[in-house]
Amino acid sequence: MSERMERRAVISGAAQSEVGRRLYRTGIDLTVEAALRAVEDAGLTTADIDGVSTYPGFGGSFGGAMGAELHEALRLSLNWRSAGVETAGPLGAVHNAILAVATGLARHVLVFRTVVEGSGGPLRPGSGGGGGGGMAGSAGPFQFMIPYGAASAACWVACYARRHMHDYGTTRSQLGAIAVNGRANAVANPKAIYTDPMTIDDYLAVRMVSDPLCLYDCDVPCDGSTAVVVSHRDYAPDAPAGAVGVNAMGTAIRGRPSWDQFDDLTSMMMRHTAASMWERTELTVDDVDTAQLYDGFSWLTLAWIEAMGFCGKGESGAFVEGGVNIGPDGSVPLNTSGGQLSAGRLHGFGHLHEAVMQLRGAANIQVPGCEVVAVGAGGGPETGCLLLTKGPS
C-alpha cells in the first residue's frame, strides 16, 4: 500500500474541560481550560503549538469558540489555522490538523470542539442547532423542512429510523440497547451528565419525541470543551502519555450532501465515509478492539455500526439487541465512556477523547489489550471517521 499521509501524524495530547449540563461559562473559557490541559498532557508548552484547528468556527451557529479566540487568548504564534463547518462532520477539524502536520505546515496543532448548548437558548427557527447549522434564516436546503415543523435533526433522523424498522424489522427495544449501553458505561465516567441506572423498560416507557425516537434516543445538550494535540510522528517517543497513531481517516461524501435527498433512507453518508477509511488501510473491521460511534441520536449509532461493517446491512438491530455484543465484554465494546446520550453532546469529540484514553490504557472502563479503535462522528451528510492505533501506525 502506498504511503498514507495521515500516518505521519499522531495524537500526542488529549483533555477535556469541566463538562456539565449548564455551566454558564463562556465557550472560550471552557476552550482555554481544555486546551491548556491538552498541551500539558502532550508534554508541550503553548510556545510549541504552531497550529489551531476547530469545528465549526466563525459563523457556525452552534460553535462554542472560534479558532481566532483561542489564538488570541493564549497569544499563540501560528504557522497554520483552520476552522470550518463544511467538513466531514466535526472530526473534519482533526482531519485538517492531520493534513497540516503531514504536509509540514505545522508540527503541533491544537484541535478543539467546544459546545455551550446546555446553557444556550432553545431550538427555534433562526437559532440553528440540532445538526442544522445555519439551517434557518436562509433559503438553503432546510427551507423544505422548516415550513413543516421539522426543525430538529430528531425529525429527520426519525424518518430514517422508521424506514430502517420498516425494511429490516428493527425494533425499539433494539434501538434502546444503544441508550442502555451508554447509560451503563456513563456510570464510570465522572464527567457524564446522566448516571442514574436505566433499563430497557425505562427506555420503552419514556415519552416519544419524534416517533419512533423517544427522549432517550436523543443526546443531552451540555457545556464543555475537548482538545487534542495532533503532532508529527517524530514527536511520538517524547509524548509523556503515549502517542496515538492515525492509521486511516475516512472523509468520503460520495452521495448527495443532504439530510432529505440521500439515496438510501436506511443509511446515511457514513456509509461512504467508513468505506473510504477502510480503503486506506490494511487493517480490517476484525482488528477493531472498541468502537466509539456517534450517538447524537441512537439510530445514528446503528447506521455507523453497519457502515463500519461490524454487521451486515440491516442487521444492526439484532447485533446490538440485549447489549451483549456492544458491552464492555462483548465483541465490539461500544461508547465506553457513555456516549452523548448519557455523557453529553460533545459532538464527536467525547468519542475521540475516549478513543485516546482506550489506546493509552487509561479509560475508566478499559478494554484489555486495546490496540485499534474506530471513531465515527456525525450524521446525515456530515460524517467523518478515524482509525486510531496504540502508538504510531
Q: Is 213 in the site for other proteins (CB under 8 A)?
A: yes
Cβ(306)–Cβ(318) below 8 Å: no
As a whole number of angstroms, the distance between CA 22 and CA 289 comes to 34
Q: Is 121 in the site for other proteins (CB under 8 A)?
A: no
Cα-to-chain-centroid distance, residue 76: 26
* 17-25, 42-50, 117-125, 237-245 -> range binding other proteins (CB under 8 A): 117-125
In the bound state with other proteins, the residue whose beta carbon lies nearer, of 140 and 312, is 140
In the bound state with other proteins, the residue whose beta carbon lies nearer, of 159 and 187, is 159
- Helix (H) / strand (E) containing 36: helix 27-41
Q: What is the nearest approach in angstroms of other proteins to the Cβ of residue 146?
A: 5
As a whole number of angstroms, the distance between CA 319 and CA 321 comes to 6
- Assigned C-alpha cell, 109: 496543532
- Helix, strand or coil for residue 9? strand
Identified binder of other proteins from the candidate list 3, 139, 190, 329, rule CB under 8 A: 139
* 7-15, 161-169, 235-243, 287-295 -> range binding other proteins (CB under 8 A): 161-169
Q: Is 212 in the site for other proteins (CB under 8 A)?
A: yes
* 72-80, 155-163, 327-335, 368-376 -> range binding other proteins (CB under 8 A): 155-163
Q: Report the relative pairing of strands 51-54 and 80-83 from DSSP bridges.
A: parallel
Nearest alpha-carbon partner for 279 in 4, 87, 7: 4
Q: Is 75 in the site for other proteins (CB under 8 A)?
A: no
Identified binder of other proteins from the candidate list 45, 77, 79, 138, rule CB under 8 A: 138
Identified binder of other proteins from the candidate list 204, 208, 324, 362, rule CB under 8 A: 208
Q: Report the relative pairing of strands 372-379 and 290-293 from DSSP bridges.
A: parallel
Identified binder of other proteins from the candidate list 55, 112, 160, 349, rule CB under 8 A: 160
- Assigned C-alpha cell, 217: 434516543
Q: Is 328 in the site for other proteins (CB under 8 A)?
A: no
Burial of 156 (0-12, 13-18, 19+ CB in 10 A): buried
Identified binder of other proteins from the candidate list 23, 68, 105, 123, rule CB under 8 A: 123
Cβ(193)–Cβ(343) below 8 Å: yes
- Assigned C-alpha cell, 131: 445538526
* 4-12, 34-42, 153-161, 340-348 -> range binding other proteins (CB under 8 A): 153-161
- Assigned C-alpha cell, 377: 462522528
Q: What is the DSSP letter of 232?
A: E
Q: Is 166 in the site for other proteins (CB under 8 A)?
A: yes
Site residues for other proteins per CB under 8 A: 123-125, 136-141, 143-152, 154-155, 158-160, 162-163, 166, 207-213, 260-261, 263, 265
